[in-house]
Structure 1
Amino acid sequence: MVENRMVAGHRERASLRDIAVAFFRSGMLGFGGGPSAIPLVHQEVVKRYEWMNEDEFGDTLALANTMPGPIATKMAGYIGYRIAGIMGCLVALFATIVPTVLLMILFLGVLQKYKDIPWVQHMSASVVPVVAIMLGTMTWDFIKKSKTTLGWKHAVLYLVLSLVLIEGLDIHPAIVILAAFVLVFLPLLKKRRKTV
């Protein structure tokens, strides 16, 4: 019985360590803000550690986009909590926020001093295409997942409609996501009323 407790305790420590490493990596390599960190969080959470599957990650991302605040910290807090409770939440948030804050304090003066040097400007600009490819790859994965759950017809319809609403009409993505939730739940509520 003591041996089982020790094994369980070791697993919990390893899990917290893994959470810290995963969110430290995604936080440090997510250059350019929260959206650029999402593919990195996806890589750690879904592909490397398999804490969530694609559907669960997609649901988490969609819900996090509807709420105020930085996406990276919302994702870290929820995923950490889901994996290891309150301690997992705190470890994930700490690993996401604190290293970046310390680096900002450390390097802000240096960057301000050398910001007009061409190679510093090119270094910052060269990261943008890499982030675009990462986001594009993750987007294509979500489109393929939508095909299996909705079928191509509905997936393309939702894709085009979302593009028109968000880019064409400048409607906030949170409103579009909430509207999609309502559209999904209305038929379910009608079916439930008919059965009652």
Structure 2
Amino acid sequence: MKKLLTMFLTFLKIGAFTFGGGYAMIPLIETEVVDKQHWIKKEEFLDIIVISQTFPGALAVNSSTFIGYRIGGILGAMLALIGVVLPSFFIMLVVAHFFLQFRNNPIVDLVFKGISAAVPMLILVAVISLSKSINKSTINLIIIIFTIIGISVLNIHPVLIILLSGIYGAVFLREKVN
């Protein structure tokens, strides 16, 4: 029970102190779950992030649910989910209540500008951290290049990229599993 309470409080902290959405949460989730608590290994964390991206819904919600399930079964999944969502829920209630009164306040505006400047760097940290776990092979480099070109130049939807990459892996990388 102590482990479940610790996990709930960990995800509550992650939910309360991470701004910018799921991708910005990845470094904090990794630090807490892999580095500090040692609940899962880095490779398993990477697998959870990949699986979480392929399911509908928010990355933070999906990944916290998977990690919670891995740590404490169904109860762990529910506690991790509640922990990561609860701070946002209360913050949104407060913001919705007071937003119109304070939106034109210069200090509030500066706070939002400061937070929005940090979010892309948090996402970059997540990309760098996750890239360390990727097998440095020629085929992975080709997939990365095609993904970047496909999304940024050809405007291919990321879901299609994920599906095509999954199909490629299932068809052409099968011999590595057998």
Question: What is the TM-score normalised by the length of structure 2?
Answer: 0.88
Deviation at 1:130, TM superposition (A): 2.1
CA contact (8 A) 1:143 1:155 kept: no
Shift of 1:188: 4.7
Counterpart of 1:53 in structure 2 is 41
Say which of 32, 36, 49 aligns to 1:44: 32
Moved more, 18-27 or 156-165: 156-165
Instruction: Map 1:104-183 to 2 at 5 A.
Output: 104-146=92-134, 149-151=135-137, 153-183=138-168
Q: Any idea what the Cα deviations from partners look like across 1:113-170, whole Å, max 9, x if unmatched?
A: 1101222111011112322222212211222322xx233x334322211111122222
Residue 54 and residue 111 in structure 1: after superposition, are their counterparts in 2 closer, same or farther (change >3 A)? same
Paired residue secondary structure (1:170): coil
Deviations 1:20-77 (A, max 9, x none): 1211111111213233222221221122212222221112111211221111111111
State the one-letter code of the partner of 1:183. Answer: Y
Between the aligned partners of 1:99 and 1:138, the Cα distance in structure 2 is 22
Task: Give me the whole-angstrom Cα distance separating, in 2, the residues matched to 1:65 and 1:172.
Answer: 14
**Structure 1: runs of 5+ lacking an equivalent:** 1-12
| Larger relative contact order (Cα-Cα within 8 Å, sequence gap ≥ 6) | 2
Runs of 4 or more consecutive aligned structure 1 residues displaced over 4 Å after TM superposition: none
Partners of 1:48 and 1:137 in 2: how far apart? 18
In structure 1, give the amino acid aligned to 2:59.
Answer: I
Task: Report the counterpart of residue 3 of structure 2 in structure 1.
Answer: 15
Q: State the alpha-carbon separation in 1 of the partners of residues 103 and 59 from structure 2.
A: 27
Distance 1:165 1:59 in 2: 23
Equivalent in the alignment of 2:71: 83
Aligned residues: 177
Structure index of larger Rg: 1
Q: Greater share of helix residues, 1 or 2?
A: 1
Q: 2:85 aligns with which of 94, 97, 102?
A: 97
- Greater shift after overlay, 88-97 or 162-171? 162-171
Asked whether the 8 Å contact 2:15–2:86 carries over to 1, the reply is no
Paired residue for 1:64?
52
- Cα–Cα, structure 1 residues 18 and 100, in superposed 2: closer, same or farther, change >3 Å? same
Distance 2:22 2:172 in 1: 34
CA RMSD of aligned residues (A): 2.1
- CA distance in 2 between counterparts of 1:40 and 1:167 reads 27
**TM-score between both structures, scaled by the size of structure 1:** 0.81
